């Protein structure tokens, strides 16, 4: 199955939480229990530098039996991010399921 396309916006100095549901072609959720997931943000798809990584291994991504993929960064973690326009993809057990642009909304007022 081809990876879906979805652009995300991360607000700097704010909590980032985004949830996706991974479904079969008939719309039923795919059980992700026990699966590993990883999302990496890079300046470009061929860049070697990872700007931020959210994964089941580092606790920044959770997955469940209802096909939910939940991404989490604290306000402290978003405060140190330093890019404007980048790309990301999400892999579940090595299969790319979602990709797109990752925009950092820097804002002008900081806490």
Q: What is the pLDDT of residues 7-45, one digit of tens each?
A: 999 999 999 999 999 999 999 999 999 999 999 999 999
The pLDDT assigned to 107 comes to 76
Q: What is the pLDDT of residue 2?
A: 85
Average pLDDT, the chain: 95
Q: Would you call 18 exposed, middle or buried from its count of C-beta atoms within 10 A (0-12, 13-18, 19+)?
A: middle
Instruction: Reduce the DSSP state of residue 106 to 3 states and report it.
Output: coil
Contact 12, 105 (CB under 8 A): yes
What is the share, in percent, of the chain residues with pLDDT greater than 70? 97
DSSP strands (E only) in the chain: 4-5, 8-11, 16-21, 37-42, 50-55, 61-63, 68-73, 85-92, 95-105
Domain ranges of the chain: 4-105
User: Measured between alpha carbons, how far is 12 from 96 in angstroms, rounded to an integer?
Assistant: 26
Q: Which fold has domain 4-105?
A: Immunoglobulin-like (2.60.40)
How far apart are alpha carbons 44 and 14 in whole angstroms?
24
Instruction: Determine the Cα–Cα distance for residues 82 and 104; give it in Å rounded to an integer.
Output: 8
pLDDT-derived band at 90, boundaries 50, 70, 90: very high
Compute CA distances 81 → 22, 32, 53, 97, whole Å: 27, 29, 11, 24
Query: Is pTM beyond 0.95 here?
Result: no
């Amino acid at each position: 199955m081809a990876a879906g396309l979805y652009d995300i916006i991360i607000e700097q100095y704010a909590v980032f939480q985004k949830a996706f549901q991974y479904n079969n072609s008939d719309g039923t959720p795919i059980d992700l229990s026990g699966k590993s997931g990883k999302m990496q943000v890079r300046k470009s798809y061929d860049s070697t530098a990872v700007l931020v990584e959210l994964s089941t291994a580092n606790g920044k991504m959770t997955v469940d039996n209802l096909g939910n993929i939940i991404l989490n960064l604290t306000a402290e973690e978003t405060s140190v991010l330093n890019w404007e326009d980048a790309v990301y993809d999400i892999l579940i057990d090595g299969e790319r399921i979602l990709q797109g642009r990752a925009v950092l909304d820097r804002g002008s007022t900081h806490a």
